[in-house]
Amino acid sequence: MENFRKESDLLGELNVPMDAYYGVQTQRAINNFKISGQLLSSYPDFIKGLAFVKKAAAKTNYELGLLDENLYFKIAEACDEIVEGKYHEQFPVDMIQGGAGTSINMNANEVIANIVLEKLGKNKGEYEFCSPNDHINLSQSTNDAYPTAIKMGLLQMNVGLVERLERIIAAFRAKGKEFQDVIKMGRTQLQDAVPMTLGQEFEAFAATLEEDISKLNNNANLFVEVNMGATAIGTGLNAPVGYATLCAKNLAQITGFPIISAPDLVEATPDTGSYVIYSSAMKRLAVKLSKICNDLRLLSSGPRAGLFEINLPPMQPGSSIMPGKVNPVIPEVVNQVCFKVIGNDLTVTFAAEAGQLQLNVMEPVLSHAIMENINFLCNAMDTLHDKCVIGITANKEVCLNMVKHSIGIVTALNPYIGYKQSTQIAKEALETGKSVYNLVLEKRILSQEKLDEILDPKNMLKPHNK
């Protein structure tokens, strides 16, 4: 027992490790919620968000005359240290929990209070000198501090997500330039369509992902509206006049984000619409990434019995029974990440819908799902970039031969010989195995010079006049 200290709360006394900066309410959460195995300490930006909120709250309380100068500066110093990365191991609460985030809010309150006590030369747990509730949580409730901290965490995490997205876009765009002269068949419904270049295909990957940068940033901008000063349900009980606006101003100054106070705090307290919209942007990105990975797996299929138009970097042996087999493991793992992201979006939807009356108590699973998705997508895009895209090579001759022997190039004849005659040529080519080129010459439908001009794949890569 000498390695523990006793702390008490509403439910009585509890042993807390002597060296822990957290306190009794955090210890209860550790004991009660062994759910996901993913702890608050796994999400450093969320912890920084909590520190930002507590520092802004302390600054506001000091400016309104509710907190003495010495205690304010010590609280601010403790919060700054947490933002710098210290004490993150002192946040051991499971991300999924009951209580609408109370355990996470109290974890932050207790850690900051005990850091301050140490700076004051006091022992951990001597809360009469700095209290988690009376000082760190002053003019706040879990119901405004917790969702605001989530938003501060997500604003930071979105920056990292967009950086990873821009990086993978640049990689696809570089491949688009590298492959700009590699002619290949385009396909619709997995059937030959018309020629294109491999460069156009990879540039399209870049272009479709580029659209999602603005979607993510625009949707993340909804997080700048916060409900600090709402306290329990939005009425502002126990917060002084002017607290909400001043706290938002201080939070903006501390974080660098354009934070504003919600115009209706009663509405803002249970509202989770911003999470739903941001999650939908991640789902959209996941759908696109998964589609691209499907394409990479198809284009690299083979090597003898598939398309084999590109080579993916070999990452590991593909089979315990089939010698020489190498599988597209990187696109496969990204596909699976995308499925997880799409599933988590449904969790966000249900959690948002489950809000009742003046509070949504499902914010823990909602915030966990979104933050997990951001981490998954960041890791997946880094992996796809580093271990796949930058090492892709083209099988130029394979691509060209498919164009030469494709029935699809008959589409180019439509404006010259009509749809009906083009269809007959295509049908005969399929039945006889002859090329479209030879059949047109045999039937003397067009001169060789004209046919060569029409069927030159380079002439079919962009609009042109007849």
Q: Residue 3: which residues within 8 A CB-CB, separation 6 or more?
A: 17, 18
d(CA 111, CA 99) in angstroms, rounded, equals: 19
Q: Encoding tokens for residue 192?
A: 């030959």
Helices within 64-197 (DSSP H only): 69-83, 102-119, 142-178
Q: Which residues are tagged catalytic?
A: 319
How far is residue 282 CA from its own chain's centroid?
5
d(CA 183, CA 171) in angstroms, rounded, equals: 20
How far is residue 93 CA from its own chain's centroid?
23
Q: Encoding tokens for residue 316?
A: 């590991």
d(CA 318, CA 38) in angstroms, rounded, equals: 31
Q: Other C-beta atoms within 10 Å of 411: how many?
A: 18
Q: Encoding tokens for residue 142?
A: 């879990």
Distance spanning both ends of the chain, measured CA to CA? 91
Q: Is the dihedral of CA 230, 232, 236, 239 positive or negative?
A: negative
Which is nearest to 75 in space by CA: 57, 101, 96?
57
Return the residue matching tokens 């002439």.
459
Note whether 21 and 90 are within 8 A (CB). Answer: yes
d(CA 144, CA 97) in angstroms, rounded, equals: 17
Is residue 387 classed exposed, middle or buried when 0-12, 13-18 and 19+ CB atoms within 10 A define those classes?
A: middle
How far is residue 248 CA from its own chain's centroid?
26
d(CA 456, CA 404) in angstroms, rounded, equals: 10
